[in-house]
Amino acid sequence: MVAATPSEFGLHNREVKLPGGSVEPFPGQSTESLPTRSTEMLNKVELKRELGLFSAVNLNVGCMIGSGIFISPSIALERAGSVGLCLVIWAVCGAISLMGALTFVELSSVVPRSGAEYSYFLEAFGSLHKFWGPLPSFVCAFINVCILNPTSTAVIILTFSEYVCHPFAHQMSGMTPESQDMVKKMIAIVGLGLMTVINFMSVKLYVRMQNIFSVCKLVVCGIVILTGVVLLCTGETENLSKGSEGSAASPENLALAFYGCLWSYGGWSTITVITEEVKKPEVNVLRSIVITLPLVTAVYLMMNVAYMTILTIPEMVTASAVAVVFGDRMLGVMNFIIPVGVAISTFGCALNNQFATARLCYVAGREGHMVEAFSYIHMRRLTPAPAVLLQLPRLDILWICNGGPHGHEENQERCK
C-alpha cells in the first residue's frame, strides 16, 4: 500500500482544471489571457527530481561527516576507557544507524513524500482525529524547523568559522577575545548567507556544490587514514596493542560514549526528507543508504585507528580537536590541511542541513501546518524560495548571535 500525495496549499497547487483541459491558475482567471510561456510555466511549477544516486550518496555523506569525527573521538575514548571498547562502540553505533536508516527507507517506500518523520506521522495519525491526529506531525515540524535544525546549523557554521580562523591564529593573537569572537560570528553569518544564496539560486547548483564538498571531506579523511596505514606498516602498534585494557564498566560512561559516537553518525535520515527530489526514489533511496552507512562506518573506524596509532589515550582525551593535534604531529608544514578540511566538511554539512530544513518547512507549509507562503516555489528557479529566504536565515542568525564559536567545545566539557 502506497500513500497518496495530498496537495492543498501553495502556488504549485493553485491550478484548477477546466473543461477541455485548460488551466485556471487562480480562481476567476483563465489562462487565455496569459502568454503561452506563462501557461507552460504554471503547469510545471514544482520541485524537480535533480538528485541521482551519486548525489544522494554525497548528500548522506555530507550530512553525516561534519565536525564529529574530527572532534568527538576524545569523548568516546575517554568514556570507553580503552582502545578496543571504543572501536567496538563506534562499530555498534554504525550498525544502529544503519538499522534506523533502513527503517526510514521502508517508511519512505510506503509514504513516498518528502518530510521524513513529519510525513510519516501525518500519514499514520492524520486521519484519526481532526485536531489530535495532525498534532504529532505539526509538533515534529515546529520543533525541527524552529529549534533543532537552526541550532544545529548555527553550531556547525560556528565550528566552520572557528576552523577558517585557525590558520590565522597568529595574526589574530593581538586581538581581544571579544573582537575574535565577533570576527568569527561575522564569518559564520557570511557563510550562512552564502549557503542561503546557493539554496535559493538552483537545486542543480546545490547538487554540484554538495558533491564537491562531500568529495573534498572524503579526501581529507583519506589523508588521515593513509597516514595511519603508513604508521601501522612501519610497526607503530604500541597504543593499539593495549586492546581492552582499562575498559569502562559503568552504564553512565557507556551511555556517554555512545552519545559521542552517535552524534557523529547523525544525518542518516536526511535523504528521506527530500524524497520528492530524488530520481527513482523507489530504488535510489535504499541504494544510497546501503552505500553510505557502511562507507561512513568504515571511514570512522579507520580514522579512529589512525588517531590511536600516533596519539595516546591521555593525548586524545585532552585534545579539543583530535584531528588537528594529529595533523600537527604528522603532517608538518602541511598541517593546515586538517583545519581547512574541517572547515570544508562543516560548511558542506551546514549547507545540506539548511537544504533539508527548507524542504521540511516547504512540506509543512503545503499541508497547512506553517505559513502558506512557505509552500510557494520560485517560478523560474524551481526552489522553495520563501522557505529558504524568510524562515531559516533569521532563526539561524538569532542562534549564532546568542551563541559563541566555542559552543561545541562547551558541550564537550559538559560531557566530561
Q: What is the 3-state secondary structure (H, E, C) of 223-274?
A: HHHHHHHHHHHCCCCCCHHHCCCCCCCCHHHHHHHHHHHHHHHCCCCHHHHC
Burial class (CB in 10 A: 0-12, 13-18, 19+), 389: middle
373 in the same domain as 344:
yes
Instruction: Give, in order, the Cα–Cα distances in Å from 263 to each of 48, 256, 266, 323.
Output: 31, 10, 5, 17
Report the pLDDT averaged over residues 146-167.
Answer: 85
Is 396 part of a structural domain of the chain? Answer: yes
Length reported for the chain: 416
Q: What is the pLDDT of residue 19?
A: 42
119: Cα separation from own chain's centroid: 19
Phi, psi values for residue 153, rounded to 5°: -65, -40
Is 1 part of a structural domain of the chain? Answer: no
Residue from 249, 355, 239 nearest 304 by CA: 239
Q: pLDDT class for 140, splitting at 50, 70, 90?
A: very high
40 in the same domain as 55:
no
Q: pLDDT class for 159, splitting at 50, 70, 90?
A: confident
Is 82 part of a structural domain of the chain? Answer: yes
Model confidence pLDDT, tens digit, residues 185-231: 889 889 888 998 999 998 999 999 999 999 999 999 999 999 989 98
Model confidence pLDDT, tens digit, residues 79-119: 888 888 889 999 999 999 999 999 999 999 999 899 889 99
> Helix 203-233 to helix 177-201 angle, to the nearest 10 degrees?
120
Residue 25 has pLDDT above 70, yes or no: no
> Rounded to 5 degrees, what angle do the CA atoms 213, 216, 217 make?
90
Instruction: Give, in order, the Cα–Cα distances in Å from 114 to each of 49, 153, 349, 386, 390.
Output: 12, 20, 19, 17, 20
Q: What is the pLDDT of residue 66?
A: 82
Model confidence pLDDT, tens digit, residues 33-91: 445 544 444 455 778 888 999 999 999 998 998 877 887 677 888 888 888 888 999 99
Is 106 part of a structural domain of the chain? Answer: yes
The domain spanning residue 371 has which CATH number? 1.20.1740.10
- The whole domain housing 162 covers 51-415
Report the pLDDT averaged over residues 352-375.
Answer: 90
Query: How far is Cα 191 from Cα 325, in angstroms, rounded to an integer?
Result: 25
Q: pLDDT class for 399, splitting at 50, 70, 90?
A: low
Is 5 part of a structural domain of the chain? Answer: no
Which range of 20-29, 126-135, 393-402 scores highest in mean pLDDT? It is 126-135
Least confident among 20-24, 87-91, 163-167: 20-24
DSSP state of 330: H
27 in the same domain as 151:
no
247 in the same domain as 142:
yes
Query: How far is Cα 223 from Cα 217, in angstroms, rounded to an integer?
Result: 10
80 in the same domain as 182:
yes
Phi, psi values for residue 34, rounded to 5°: -105, 150
The grid coordinates of residue 292 equal: 553510505
Q: Return the percentage of the chain with pLDDT > 90, whole number.
A: 29
Q: What is the pLDDT of residue 278?
A: 92
128 in the same domain as 158:
yes
211: Cα separation from own chain's centroid: 13
179 in the same domain as 41:
no
Is 3 part of a structural domain of the chain? Answer: no
Is 261 part of a structural domain of the chain? Answer: yes
How many domains, in total, are found in the chain? 2
Is 2 part of a structural domain of the chain? Answer: no
Query: How far is Cα 134 from Cα 119, in angstroms, rounded to an integer?
Result: 10
Q: What is the pLDDT of residue 44?
A: 59
Q: What is the pLDDT of residue 394?
A: 61
Q: What is the pLDDT of residue 11?
A: 43
Model confidence pLDDT, tens digit, residues 243-285: 777 777 788 888 988 988 888 898 888 999 999 999 999 999 9
C-beta of residue 57 within 8 angstroms of C-beta of residue 211:
no
Burial class (CB in 10 A: 0-12, 13-18, 19+), 303: buried
36 in the same domain as 68:
no
142 in the same domain as 261:
yes
61 in the same domain as 22:
no
Report the pLDDT averaged over residues 344-348.
Answer: 90
pLDDT averaged over every residue in the chain? 81
Query: How far is Cα 61 from Cα 64, in angstroms, rounded to an integer?
Result: 5
Q: pLDDT class for 396, splitting at 50, 70, 90?
A: low
26 in the same domain as 96:
no
Residue 376 has pLDDT above 60, yes or no: yes
60 in the same domain as 41:
no
